[in-house]
Structure 1
Amino acid sequence: MKLNRFLIALFLPFFILKPVSYGKDRVSQMPNLIILLADDLGYGELGCQGNQEIPTPNIDDIAKKGVRFSQGYVTAPNCSPSRAGLLTGKYGTRFGHEFNPTGAKNEEPGFGLPLSQQTIADSLQMAGYVNGLIGKWHLGGTAPYHPFRRGFDEFFGFTHEGHYFVPEPWKGTTTWLRRKVLPGGGQGIRTFGKVIYSTHLGNEPDYDANNPIVRGSQPVLEEEYFTDAITRESVDFIDRHANKPFFLFVSYNAVHSPLQAADKYMKKFKHIEDIQRRIFAAMLANLDDSVGDIMKKIEKEDLENDTLVFFLSDNGGPTKELTSSNLPLRGGKGQMYEGGIRVPFLFQWPGKVPAGKTYDRPVLSTDIFATIHAAAGVSKPKGEYIESYDLLPYLTGKHKEDPHEWLYWRQSHKAAFRVGDMKILRQSPKKWELYDLAKDPSETKDLSKEMPERLDLLYAGWEKINGNMVEPLFK
């Protein structure tokens, strides 16, 4: 059993990680590499994940042509540390990127992906790839952390945690904004034309303050709805680099707040009475069409068989804020329950990955790092800890065991640890909970009192791994 093997290893003098598998022979034709990252998209919101309310045919098509990971995890329950794990192939707690800077913190010195860490773009650039980042960065808003200094050749987007989708006064959209007090006073929900104010969650963050949309490093006035602008720039990047190997990181800020949907998509969902949910549905449908435009461009350039594509969300959905559902999972963004850290996770590479397959064992967003390096024939970066495994041998059946013997999370007092199908988590400072995810994926029955020995063993495992982590560099 996985648990027994882990517990044996637990008490060895040194904990040895499984080495990352990389191909020895460089492929004759370097594949193109695309990561499509949604923002705050809940586990249950895609058609291929069971949502029948909001059609997402283009994203679902990636699953039809490739693999859907039913237990795909990210390294943190919120944006920045999750992205740090994705781009480095490591838990952010290995190098102090544990927390999620927001607002003015993005502009403070030292608040960003540590410069000591090599990104996937760094190694691909040195291997001859042309690298583009389109959309949200959120790994440092000051000069040392600019994407140009982290391996990317091109950048169009913004550096903080969020951005309005069109400039004020938000023409052509319906906008839902949070406030502590409604305009004119009072609590509740109040509508002014196509702007709806709600007091259910305090104030809307000041997303656009000192956070311009830039091309390279120069601010631009972008008037197109930003999901469409990201897609436009991504299609243009593919068009200009179709004759050379490229890595394209398409980092959408949809469906992150502010809830702001284009009018043409609002009309498609006029049957949804809840205005908050209707705006979310319109934003998701817009995102789906945008993914479709990128995939159609790949097909038009006859690059489909030569292009590896991942689609995932950076964390679970914040349901009360967005309506973004994580069902049937418990919890959401910011939490260590499954709904905060298990996300929609898809992978397509025609001819290399089985089509229409569902892979039901745990994988981690860090595995994208190793899978891309192996596919590109690029040597792994130096370093002792890279918890990142090439997924291809597992998907083709060459490797029968789970890619990961354990999965670990920590953010302040919140923590979680999974071995096999057993998981412990700590959402409050003092209480650890225990769940059997095979029997109870919705985490409805805490087994900590029934199985205290198992809880203690898993906690000892978490402590062992936690001893290899470092203190956060910023909070």
Structure 2
Amino acid sequence: MTGYYPFHTGLQHIAILPDRAGYMPTKFPTLPEKLKPLGYSNHMVGKWHLGFCNWNYTPTYRGFDSFMGFYNGKEDYYTRMIATGYDFRFNDSVYHPQEGEYSTNVITNRAIEIMDSVDPVNDQLYLYLPFQSVHVPLQVPERFENIYSNITTKDRRTYCGMVSALDEAVGNITSALRDRGFMDNALIVFTTDNGGPTYTYSNNLPLRGSKTTLWEGGTRGVAFVYSDNLLNKTGYTNNEMIHAVDWFPTLLKLAGGEPDAGIDGVNQWPTISSGAPSARSEFVYNIDEIFKNAGISNICINKR
């Protein structure tokens, strides 16, 4: 969202929780804030998790024209409850979607509603959809769980069903983009934020480790980029070194903007669009002794 490493924004420690104040400082401009002067309409649906202890740290004060979703990180998929409180909003107001509707469907329906409010020919749209899936609590409609009736472990069966529910949602959103004429000049980025938590029935094989570890199973995220006509090379696997902070300058440059000097991210569009060598040779995992489970700090990763 900013192009800066977490240790520069002060968010390198444990996640923001309902009873623990934390926020992304306003001195770091967000991607939608940088896109707005370029004529973009910016909308967000889903998980914020970047601060809510003050209105200035919430999405509609950080560059988004609209926000539907939750401020925390692991709400009930049906009731929108976390701890003992309700957490779901439309812009600044508490909002109650249809009772019992699965959150993946709520996010999908709102995304399509936004598409219907935008002219695909004359308007420029940045649509940010941080889905709740696939995250605890493990919950999914029965029809998705039943796809995996061959799996005997209940939680693993549910987890796999959640992945399929997300897959269906992405397919529905892609179809809506195409049906409404957006795909002629659209770029779709689908990415994870960490490896799967194997302790809640995910599987990162053949990579070692899981979420909360520094092994590649916890930190080497998968992603894909799709466009009908913006990519020079398609249908291939790119294993070049790209860090999450690189999305900010990459997307901003592609939109015609210019990142501020000194950010941690680098423009990776030549790598993504053409398979060129990465623009970086190293990145910093963190500079903090909080990683006591790893036994190391001041971590810098270089290309092999």
Given the two structures, how large is their TM-score scaled by the length of structure 1? 0.59
2:150 counterpart SS class? coil
The aligned amino acid for 1:388 is G
| 1:91 aligned residue | 5
Matching of residue 103 in structure 1 with residue 17 in structure 2: yes
Comparing 350-359 with 127-136, greater Cα deviation is found at 350-359
| Secondary structure in structure 1 of the residue aligned to 2:225 | strand
Partner of residue 218 from structure 1, selected from 81, 86, 93: 93
Instruction: Name the counterpart of 2:223.
Output: 345
1:324-473, aligned counterparts within 5 Å? 324-353=202-231, 354-380=233-259, 382-384=260-262, 386-397=263-274, 400-410=276-286, 412-413=288-289, 427-429=293-295
Contact 2:214 2:294 in 1 (8 A): no
Question: What is the deviation of 1:144?
Answer: 2.1
Is structure 2 residue 35 aligned with structure 1 residue 121? no
Alpha-carbon contact 1:97-1:114 (below 8 Å) kept: no
Q: Go from structure 1 to structure 2 and tell me whether the alpha carbon gap of 1:258 and 1:345 turns closer, same or farther (over 3 Å shift).
A: same
Give the distance between the partners of 1:376 and 1:434, measured in 2 at CA: 30
- The aligned residue for residue 62 of structure 2 is 150
Determine the structure 2 residue equivalent to 1:132.
43
Match of 2:162 in 1: 283
* Cα deviation, residue 104, structure 1: 2.7
SS at 2:117 equivalent: helix
Q: CA deviation at 1:432?
A: 10
After superposition, the Cα gap between the structure-2 partners of 1:157 and 1:150, relative to the gap in structure 1 and judged at 3 Å, is same
Change (3 A) 1:434 1:103: closer
Distance in structure 2 (CA, Å) of the matches to 1:139 and 1:395:
27
Q: How many residues align?
A: 298
Structure 1: distance between partners of 2:105 and 2:71: 18
Other structure's SS at 1:125 match: helix
Deviation (angstroms), 1:231? 0.5
Shift of 1:412: 3.7
SS of the residue corresponding to residue 268 of structure 1 reads helix
Percent identity (aligned):
26
Distance 1:433 1:427, change over 3 A: farther
Aligned to 1:448: none
Shift of 1:414: 5.5
Say whether residues 1:238 and 2:115 are aligned partners. yes
Amino acid paired to 1:152: F
The answer to whether the 8 A contact 2:13-2:290 is kept is no
In the alignment, what sits opposite 2:145? 266
- How far apart are 1:395 and its partner, in Å? 3.8
- Displacement of 1:436 in angstroms is 9.7
More strand by share: 1
Which structure has the larger Rg? Answer: 1
Question: Match of 1:53?
Answer: none
Counterpart residue type for residue 157 of structure 1: G
1: CA distance between counterparts of 2:250 and 2:303?
26
Instruction: State the match for 1:228 in structure 2.
Output: 105
CA contact (8 A) 1:238 1:298 kept: yes
Instruction: Name the structure 1 match of 2:79.
Output: 167
Q: Work out whether residues 241 and 281 of structure 2, in 8 Å CA contact, stay in contact via their aligned partners in 1.
A: no
Which residue of the partner structure matches residue 294 of structure 1? 173
Residues 435 and 151 (structure 1 numbering): CA distance in 2 closer, same or farther, change over 3 Å? closer
CA deviation digits over 1:330-376, x for unaligned, max 9? 11111111111111111112222122021121111222111211111
SS at match of 1:346: strand
1:225-270 deviation digits (Å, cap 9, x = unpaired): 1011001101111121134111000010111000011112122222
**Per-residue deviation at 1:100?**
3.0
Deviation at 1:392, TM superposition (A): 2.4
- Structure 2 CA distance for aligned equivalents of residues 411 and 277 of structure 1: 35
**1:232–1:396 Cα change, 3 Å:** closer
Q: Which residue of 2 aligns with 1:203?
A: none
| Whole-Å separation in 2 of the counterparts to 1:94 and 1:165 | 32
> Structure 2 CA distance, aligned partners of 1:276 and 1:211?
25
Unaligned runs of at least 5 residues, structure 1: 1-86, 169-205, 416-425, 439-475
Structure 2 regions of 5+ residues with no counterpart? none
Aligned 8 A contact 2:74 2:132 in 1: yes
Q: Distance in 1 between matches of 2:297 and 2:61?
A: 42
2:111 maps to 1:209? no
Tell me, in whole angstroms, the C-alpha distance in 2 between the residues paired with 1:161 and 1:220: 17
**Preserved contact between residue 195 and residue 210 of structure 2 (Cα < 8 Å):** yes
Q: Distance in 2 between matches of 1:365 and 1:272?
A: 33
- Across the aligned residues of Structure 1 and Structure 2, the Cα RMSD in angstroms comes to 2.5
Deviations 1:10-44 (A, max 9, x none): xxxxxxxxxxxxxxxxxxxxxxxxxxxxxxxxxxx
| Aligned residue identity for 2:286 | R
Cα distance in 1 for residues equivalent to 2:286 and 2:225: 27
Secondary structure of 1:103's match? coil
User: Normalization by structure 2: what TM-score?
Assistant: 0.90
User: How far apart, in 2, do the equivalents of 1:437 and 1:405 lie?
Assistant: 6
Supply the AA of the counterpart residue of 2:294: S
